[in-house]
Structure 1
Amino acid sequence: MEQNSLITIDFSMVIQMINFLIMVYVFYKLFSKKIGGIIEQRRNIATQDLEKVKIEQEKLEEQKKIVDKLRRESKKRANDIIIKAEIQADNRKEQIINNANISKERMMANAENEIIKMRAKAELELQKEVGEIAIKIAEKIIKENVSENQDLQVKSVDNFINEIGE
């Protein structure tokens, strides 16, 4: 039987296909529960591992947020401390300047008081010396003029007293 068709069906091929299908059915019946159980176990393990990874990632994200928050708070506290220190330094600087100005004013007032006292003392000494000199001059004039004219003596004394009074 020779046929010229392109597709020919061979009886042995059909038997092999039937044999294959029977073997697939036998393997399915015998091993499907075991293989399915193993596959299901592996699927469960993989799912659990994925859930653990997700939980760990969430924990890691939370810890990262906490660390970021702590870092921001630390920076804020550090900035607050720096600002507080700068304010205290400025206050201390102003206090030192104010104290220095007060001391300077006190010293200036003391110096002015000393100058006034020294001036008054100098004036008193000067007046004393001028008085002594005037007395000496007056004595000299009086001695010279006592013997001469009485009117001239009185006139000289009056002139001298008038000059000293001015």
Structure 2
Amino acid sequence: MDSSTQGGKAFGILKSHQEDKLKSINEAFLSDEQYAEVEDLPEKLDMFKKKYMEFDLNDKGDIDMMGLKRMLEKLGVAKTHMELKKMMSEVCGGASKETFSYVDFLTMMLGERNAILKLILMFEGMSKQEERRHVGPPAAKTFSELP
């Protein structure tokens, strides 16, 4: 980026660059035989890419403890520092790291491990599907059904 690019335009360029990097990682996962049996893999990878981009705000390629904290707070699931450290370790497959990469994130979300973050994100997705189903006015109730 040159010095004439500032503010929203610079952020847009940063996000576009980030999306390109994550898209190439997604393509590698699509061609990996280990994930060939995953149902709806392209859709899942696209959803995971959007979720990851939401919290890797500076495009460093990793989400740190504060990014994870923001992610969970936005989902309404605040955690203590110790819980966050445990979650970071789970995402990284037991390694004690200060950040996790997009590859770590995808490996957790598509793998067999039941990490806390994976469960939280899965339930968040399910609750959004529930919200979409109940659109419109509530069903009419009879007098006997009222509290």
Please classify the TM superposition score into its range, dividing by the shorter chain length: under 0.3
Larger Cα-atom Rg = 1
Q: When you count helix as a share of all residues, which structure comes out higher? A: 1
Q: Which has the higher contact order (CA 8 A, sep 6+)?
A: 2
| TM-score, with length taken from structure 2 | 0.19
| TM-score, with length taken from structure 1 | 0.17
